[in-house]
């Protein structure tokens, strides 16, 4: 048996040019776990409407944050992979759910090195149809078709792992040291409310009201909303935040269906209107900085806050390649490699 690891992140276009952004968005938005409507309706919506206008606007946004070395999300993920590889004895690969660095290529590279047992790590702290689930489903389809003799085990969503909460809390403290702020906003990527109901294994728990996420239920193992709220609660507990000095919100909604609320842009606006002069924002749904953190939060979010009379707007970077985060991944990988039994599979 030869072991290997595959880190999997979301992906990015090959370049910030509209044609590459269009190709990438086509693959991303045609995923039935991202836009979860019947194929004909998704085709009509994505190829008939969204892709006619969005690639140009998104390309503009990507151009604002693109680095000389490439997309921040890809560059940071590659740096993470290299750092993890330095501390692990077997091959560590990197793949993206969408775009050119495909999961098939990632598994092929591991197979070429003789790997037959893969520890797949979706780089998402919280489970959602559009995060962990879509990666695991695709990886299994690829395994069955192309690598039938390969075993794939995976790291489940790690939102409440005490070591992860420690690493995230320490990173937040470090970045807030010496900074003025009256309110810390935990902004998570949004999903349509419908996704939460679809992932509810009890089929009745998730009412998306004031209390379902706080009432214990087996549904929480697959509830993105609960898992986001838990990250905020656990970090606030760890860092002894006073009530009222922090809150959670959801960013990046698309379309007209109700998405998880409160929305980040409206929350920033409200905080500014209420007279908050200095705020900080952290984005724990992402482990690598990307378009959503560098443009939507750090640029657009700051602009909204300033328009509302706010002053200091501190954006806390994602964990990216911080040493404690790298060390934690290495620890999880070594634990897996030493374990006799397979990791729980979703
Ligand atoms: C339309 C539905 C979308 C769902 C559902 C969704 C869920 C989701 N996405 C992320 C993480 C990222 N999304 C990113 C970009 C992005 N997301 C959507 C749409 C949905 N996401 C779009 C259309 C885009 C493209 C950008 C744009 O055109 O505005 C990114 C950034 C990628 C990058 O290259 O930097 C990330 C990361 C999560 C975690 C999530 C569910 C919880
Ligand atoms: Fe997204």
**Secondary structure class of 281 (helix, strand, coil):** strand
The conformation of residue 214, written as its DSSP 8-state character, comes to G
Cα 251 to chain centroid distance, Å, stands at 12
Judgement on whether residues 135 and 281 belong to the same structural domain of the protein: no
Would you say residue 198 lies in a domain? yes
Instruction: Determine contact, residues 218/202, Cβ cutoff 8 Å.
Output: yes
In this prediction, residues 178-202 reach a mean pLDDT of 96
116 shares its domain with 192: no
273 and 333 inside one domain: no
> Does 258 lie in the same domain as 126?
no
Q: Tell me, yes or no, whether 37 lies in a domain.
A: no
**Closest approach atom of ligand 1 to CA 292:** 31
Say if residue 184 is in the same domain as residue 301: yes
330 falls within a domain: yes
Say yes or no: 311 and 216 in one domain: yes
Asked if residue 7 and residue 132 are part of one domain, the reply reads yes
179 domain-assigned: yes
Is residue 81 within 8 A of residue 5, CB to CB? The reply is no
Q: What is the pLDDT of residue 345?
A: 43
Residue 139 lies in a domain: yes
**Where does residue 239 rank: exposed (0-12), middle (13-18), buried (19+ CB within 10 A)?**
middle
Compute the distance between CA of residue 241 and CA of residue 264 in angstroms, rounded to an integer.
Answer: 20
For 220-258, write each residue's pLDDT tens digit.
999 999 999 999 999 999 999 999 999 999 998 888 789
Q: Is 306 annotated as a binding residue?
A: no
Residue 134: count of CB within 10 angstroms of its CB: 20
Query: Is there a single domain that holds both residue 114 and residue 200?
Result: no
Residues 124 and 166 in one domain: no
pLDDT digits (tens, 9 = 90+) for 161-174: 999 999 999 999 99
Q: Looking at residue 246, what is its pLDDT? A: 98
Domain contains 178:
yes
Residue 197 belongs to domain spanning: 162-315
Do 117 and 187 fall within a single domain? Answer: no
- Is there an atom of ligand 1 within 6 Å of 7 CB? no
Is residue 285 assigned to a domain? yes
**What was the pLDDT predicted at 13?**
98
Q: Using 50, 70 and 90 to split pLDDT, how confident is the model at 341?
A: very low
Burial 261-282 (b: 16+ CB within 10 A, else e): eebbbebbbebbeeebeebbbb
Which amino acid residue places its CA nearest to atom 24 of ligand 1?
25
Residue 284 and residue 179 in one domain? yes
Task: Examine the pLDDT at 97 and tell me if it is beyond 70.
Answer: yes
Instruction: Indicate if ligand 1 lies below 6 Å from the C-beta of 292.
Output: yes
Average pLDDT of the residues in 10-20: 98
Which of the four pLDDT bands, split at 50, 70 and 90, describes residue 340? Answer: very low
Residue 189 assigned to a binding site? yes
- How does DSSP assign 220-272, residue by residue? GGG-HHHHHHHHHHHHHHHTTPPTTSEEEEEE---SSS-BSSSBHHHHHHHHH
pLDDT confidence bin for 210, thresholds 50/70/90: confident
Q: What is the CA radius of gyration of the chain?
A: 20
Largest CA distance in the chain: 61
CATH of the domain at 218: 3.40.50.1400
Q: How many domains does the chain have?
A: 2
pLDDT at 344: 43
Inter-CA distances, 17 with 45, 56, 246, 255, Å: 22, 8, 38, 23
Can you tell me the distance from the alpha carbon of 268 to that of 247, in angstroms, rounded to the nearest whole number? 11
d(CA 183, ligand 1 centre) in Å? 26
- Number of helices (H) and strands (E), helices first, in the chain? 13, 8
Q: How far is the CA of 148 from the centre of ligand 2 (A)?
A: 31
Whole-number average pLDDT of the chain: 96
- SS3 (DSSP) at 345: coil
Is 97's C-beta closer than 6 angstroms to any atom of ligand 1? no
pTM of the model: 0.95
Q: Ligand 1 within 6 A of 130 CB?
A: yes
By most ligand atoms within 8 Å of CB, the mutation choice from 63, 77, 131, 189 for ligand 1 is 189
Pocket test of ligand 1: the residue of 24, 292, 297 to mutate, having most ligand atoms within 8 Å of its CB, is: 292
Q: Tell how far the Cα of 118 is from the centroid of ligand 1, in angstroms.
A: 26
pLDDT tops 50 at residue 54: yes
Strands, E assignment, the chain? 3-9, 92-96, 117-122, 151-154, 183-189, 246-251, 279-282, 313-315
Q: Examine residue 30 and state whether it is found in any structural domain, yes or no.
A: no
Q: How far apart are CA 12 and CA 3, in angstroms?
A: 28
Same domain assignment for residues 222 and 273: yes
Secondary-structure breakdown of the chain: helix, strand, coil percentages, each rounded to the nearest 5 = 50, 15, 40
Q: Which residues pair with 189 in a beta bridge?
A: 251
């Amino acid at each position: 048996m030869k072991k290997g690891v595959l880190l999997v992140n979301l992906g990015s276009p090959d370049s910030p040019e509209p044609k590459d952004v269009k190709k990438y968005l086509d693959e991303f938005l045609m995923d039935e776990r991202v836009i979860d409507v019947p194929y004909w309706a998704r085709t009509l919506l994505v190829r008939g409407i969204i892709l006619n206008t969005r690639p140009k606007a998104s390309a503009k946004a990507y151009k604002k944050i693109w680095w000389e070395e490439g997309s921040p999300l890809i560059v940071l993920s590659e740096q993470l992979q290299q750092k993890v590889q330095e501390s692990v004895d077997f091959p560590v690969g990197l793949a993206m759910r969408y775009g050119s660095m495909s999961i098939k290529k990632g598994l092929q590279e591991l197979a070429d090195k003789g790997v037959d047992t893969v520890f797949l790590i979706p780089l998402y702290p919280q489970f959602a149809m559009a995060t962990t689930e879509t990666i695991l489903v695709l990886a299994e389809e690829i395994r069955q078709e192309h690598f039938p003799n390969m075993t794939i085990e995976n790291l489940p969503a790690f939102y409440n792992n005490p070591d992860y909460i420690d690493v995230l809390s320490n990173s937040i403290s470090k970045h807030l040291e010496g900074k003025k702020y009256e309110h810390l906003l935990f902004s998570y990527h949004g999903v349509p409310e419908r996704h939460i109901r679809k992932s509810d294994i009890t089929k009745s728990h998730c009412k998306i009201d004031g209390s379902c996420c706080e009432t214990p239920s087996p549904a929480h193992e697959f509830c993105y909303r609960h898992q986001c709220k838990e990250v905020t609660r656990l970090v606030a507990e760890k860092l002894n935040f006073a009530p009222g000095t922090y809150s959670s919100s959801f960013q990046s909604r698309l379309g007209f269906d109700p998405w998880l609320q409160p929305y980040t842009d409206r929350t920033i606006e409200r905080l500014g209107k209420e007279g908050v002069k200095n705020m900080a924002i952290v984005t724990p749904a992402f482990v690598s900085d990307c378009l959503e953190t560098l443009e939507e939060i750090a640029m657009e979010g700051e602009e909204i806050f300033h328009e509302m009379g706010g002053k200091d707007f501190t954006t806390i970077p994602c964990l990216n390649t911080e040493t404690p985060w790298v060390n934690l991944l290495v620890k999880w990988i070594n634990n897996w490699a030493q374990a006799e039994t397979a990791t729980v599979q979703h």
